[in-house]
Amino acid sequence: MARVLVVDDEAVLVDTIRYKLRREGYEVHVAGDGLEGLRLAQAAVPDLVVLDLMLPGLDGLDVCRQLRRESTVPILMLTAKDDEVDKIVGLEVGADDYITKPFSLHELVARIRAMLRRSRMQQAVAAPEAEQPIRSGDLEVDLLQRRVLLRGGVLQLKPKEFDLLAYLMQHRGRVLTRDQLLEKVWGYTFVGDSRTVDVHIRWLREKIEDSPSSPRRLETVRRVGYRFVA
């Protein structure tokens, strides 16, 4: 049974989410503020965290930052703001994805399932497949240690940046649509928000390209998606 931690100060919403997730077979822990959320994250060791952006005391962004310092647990950020800046900031500090309030419980459950499915798939990568690093010129991805080297130096990548780069390099030369990347990297089997992919591609270019505005590794294929060029 997967453990889900829900951190939100809206009591009615939390009760609704808890009821729904328990009906779906999840073990649910809840917290009404950021500090309690951090305490429960350490005590309950959840498989996934649903984290509101606006929290009393310690806000969701600070909670996310602290969780990322010690854990790679999947984090789904809740935001009441339909502002792209808020969503991007949430992704920048370590959230794996976001969903904007108001949302349907059906979509919330679908996203949680997808994120947990992808997390399990990553943990179950066959050892022989993961033993050999993926290399392209002076860029190397070590799947076992989840580490990326560029010209011998270690790059600091967020969890989803690493997953996205690894998948693109594993399929180098192949054009991958945004929906394919959402499915394979984020675990979604439905049409998600493709801006999530675009944002992570932009961040990767800033870290692995000599000139992010004129990328030579991560190529955009107009109206289709992206391709890693060896």
CA distance 228 to 181: 12
Q: What is the three-class DSSP state of 6? A: strand
The residue type at 19: Y
pLDDT at residue 127 is higher than 60: no
* Spatial separation of the C-alpha atoms in residues 90 and 64, rounded to whole Å: 8
CA end-to-end span of the chain: 41
133-147 tens-digit pLDDT: 899 999 999 988 889
The reported pLDDT for the residue numbered 72 is 85
The 8-class DSSP code of residue 72 comes to -
> The sheet that has 225-228: what strands, in order across it?
176-177, 225-228, 218-221
DSSP label of 133: P
Fold category of 3-123 in CATH: Rossmann fold (3.40.50)
How many other C-beta atoms can be found within 10 angstroms of the C-beta atom of residue 42?
A: 13
> Of 66-75, 141-150, 182-191, where does mean pLDDT reach its minimum?
182-191
pTM score: 0.69
Q: What residue segments make up the domains of the chain, in order of their start?
A: 3-123, 127-228
Which one-letter amino acid corresponds to residue 145?
Q
Q: How confident is the model at residue 126 (pLDDT cuts 50, 70, 90)?
A: very low
Pairing, β 176-177 against β 225-228: antiparallel
Nearest CA-CA partner of 75 in 58, 55, 99, 57 = 99
Other CB atoms within 10 A of residue 128 CB = 7
Model pLDDT, residue 129: 54
pLDDT, mean of residues 157-171 = 92
Question: What DSSP letter does each residue of 20-60 carry, written as one string?
Answer: HHHHTT-EEEEESSHHHHHHHHHHH--SEEEEESS-SSS-H
The total of other beta-carbon atoms located within 10 Å of residue 147's CB is 14
CA dihedral 199→201→207→209, nearest 10 degrees, is -140
* CATH code given to domain 127-228: 1.10.10.10
